């Protein structure tokens, strides 16, 4: 009796829809065509939404840069750098690359260890001030400016170990000539009256 019951249940399972769940997927040409159209439409909507988001982000960055320029005129470096941080957040370029804050008021500041033959791609953003008593004349980005004698100063400079420094500005590719630690500072003989900092992003290549 038990054997007969098992055989009966087994024979009835297909009719109850329990044997093959895959058979419930639409197979008719019309249904499959409708599913394809839906998939394509969803993809089109997602792509358009991504484009709109990108346009909105660009508009925001452009507006923030205008506000930052106005803030710089008032000499508010803290707010200008806070705005720059928000601009950087909207841009995916930094990613997981090493990032350092380089102060205008400090001497040589250590970052990463490098080896001879490597190339370091340096990118810098932000503003800092070389003379707080005269902010309007001495507030710069990474490229710095010139002093009363027409000499370059206030720009971002770098060196490895005790090697001569190079002016890197906002973008530079440094060829490493000796093993050591890559250091940065503001080019200024007197840093006691400086403030502000730059955000420096590094990419080390073999």
Name the pTM for this structure: 0.58
Q: What is the pLDDT of residue 90?
A: 66
Please report the beta strands in 115-186, taking only residues with DSSP state E, as ranges in sequence order: 119-129, 139-140, 145-146, 152-153, 156-160, 166-167, 171-175, 180-186
Residue that wins the pLDDT comparison between 47 and 7 = 47
SS3 at position 126:
strand
* CA gap 16, 9 in Å, rounded: 10
Q: What is the pLDDT of residue 23?
A: 54
pLDDT score of 139 more than 50: yes
Report pLDDT digits (tens) over 93-121. Answer: 444 578 899 999 999 999 999 999 999 99
SS3 at position 54:
helix
Q: Span 162-179, mean pLDDT?
A: 92
């Amino acid at each position: 009796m038990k054997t007969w019951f098992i055989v009966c249940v087994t024979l009835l399972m297909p009719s109850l829809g329990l044997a093959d769940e895959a058979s419930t997927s639409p197979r008719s040409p019309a249904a499959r065509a409708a599913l394809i159209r839906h998939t394509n439409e969803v993809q089109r909507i997602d792509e358009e939404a991504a484009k709109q988001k990108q346009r909105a982000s660009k508009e925001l960055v452009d507006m923030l840069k205008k506000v930052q320029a106005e803030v710089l005129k008032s000499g508010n470096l803290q707010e200008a750098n806070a705005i720059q941080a928000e601009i950087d957040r909207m841009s995916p370029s930094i990613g997981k690359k090493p990032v350092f804050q380089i102060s205008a008021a400090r001497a040589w500041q250590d970052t990463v260890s490098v080896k001879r033959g490597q190339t370091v791609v340096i990118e810098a953003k932000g503003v800092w001030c070389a003379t707080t008593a005269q902010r309007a004349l001495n507030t710069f980005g990474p490229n710095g400016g010139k002093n009363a004698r027409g000499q370059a100063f206030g720009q971002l400079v770098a060196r490895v170990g005790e090697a001569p420094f190079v002016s890197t500005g906002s973008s530079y590719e440094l060829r490493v000539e000796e093993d050591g630690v890559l250091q940065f500072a503001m080019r200024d003989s007197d840093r006691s009256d400086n403030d502000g900092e730059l955000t420096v992003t590094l990419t080390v290549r073999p």
